[in-house]
Amino acid sequence: MYSDRIDKLFSEQLQNWELAGNNYRDLSKVRVRKIALGGFEVLLQFNPARITSSSAKVDESHIKQRPCFLCRDNRPKEQKEIPFGDDMIILVNPFPIFRRHLTIPSRSHTVQRIIGSFGTLLSLSQAMHLYTVFYNGPQAGASAPDHLHFQAGNIGFMPVEPDFESGRFTKLVSSEPGLEIWKWEGYHRGLISLTGNDEAKLSSAFTKLFERLSLLQPERPEPMINILSAYSRDKWTVHIFPRKKHRPEQFFSSGADKLLVSPAAVDLGGVIITPREEDFEKISAGDVADIFSQVCFDDLEIDKVIKGII
């Protein structure tokens, strides 16, 4: 049902909305470069249209000073919507990373929080099975931390998805009917994956994980976190990236040391967005490993988190 409606939405928007049409056409010209890193690859995407998102000022004072671009009254008049349930709407993202890139905001202007919304993430994933749905926390890459929203893009686009299927970097740490918990090792990004077909068990496991992370970052509105969720072969796969930092030191450097990289869910999923060509050209495997080490948990830190929830 939603696949057909989304296809129709894309067709209409790319034809009738000049900004979106131009940016999706330009996506075919986007340059991509592979970087080998410890037995796996990450992709660099040179995407100048993402400069606003990558460099967005998301501190409280700047957020209060700008109109919320996800609220209906402030969105472009050309941007059309599809309702999802009573509370969410599906929009074409006019600044794409994916061949099909969606933004899914709440109808109401309510802050970006995953507790109370994780069930919505699972429902979206199930209804939109051709897409991976993702969440960026308010201090972990969301450019609109004042308005609850998800995004979605073509399933299988991010290297983390086939890397999980390969089984080369994951270890099963807990299994019961309807739920499995996996930890990743040697992936330069500490992450935890949940798989299963029992929505209640998935939600319960996520809540335990969230509460554990909250104890480690009690001063934050919610623990720094990025989430990817997809539904395939009658089960969910949810990848959870706990975070230590919003942006790496290179983001704030100047001159030759500066790298305008602001990691969010897609970047941690293995597609690093570089809106500046100079960064696209010079980023090395060492830079990627260093950025991941700054913003992500390491394997030992993930082990401690997992021991607290199983």
Say how far apart CA 111 and CA 109 lie, in whole Å. 7
- Closest of 244, 249, 241, 236 to residue 267, by C-alpha: 241
Residues 307 and 196: beta-carbon distance below 8 Å: no
Say how far apart CA 191 and CA 309 lie, in whole Å. 14
Question: Torsion over CA of 275, 278, 279 and 283, rounded to 10 degrees?
Answer: 150
Domain ranges of the chain: 2-54+79-307
| Per-residue pLDDT tens digits of the chain, which is 310 residues long | 788 999 999 999 999 999 999 999 999 889 999 999 989 999 999 998 786 666 556 677 778 888 999 999 999 999 999 999 999 999 999 999 999 999 999 999 999 999 999 999 999 999 999 999 999 999 999 999 999 999 999 999 999 999 999 999 999 999 999 999 999 999 999 999 999 999 999 999 999 999 999 999 999 999 999 999 999 999 999 999 999 999 999 999 999 899 999 999 999 999 999 999 999 999 999 999 999 999 999 999 999 999 988 8
The pTM of the full predicted model, rounded to 2 decimals, is: 0.96
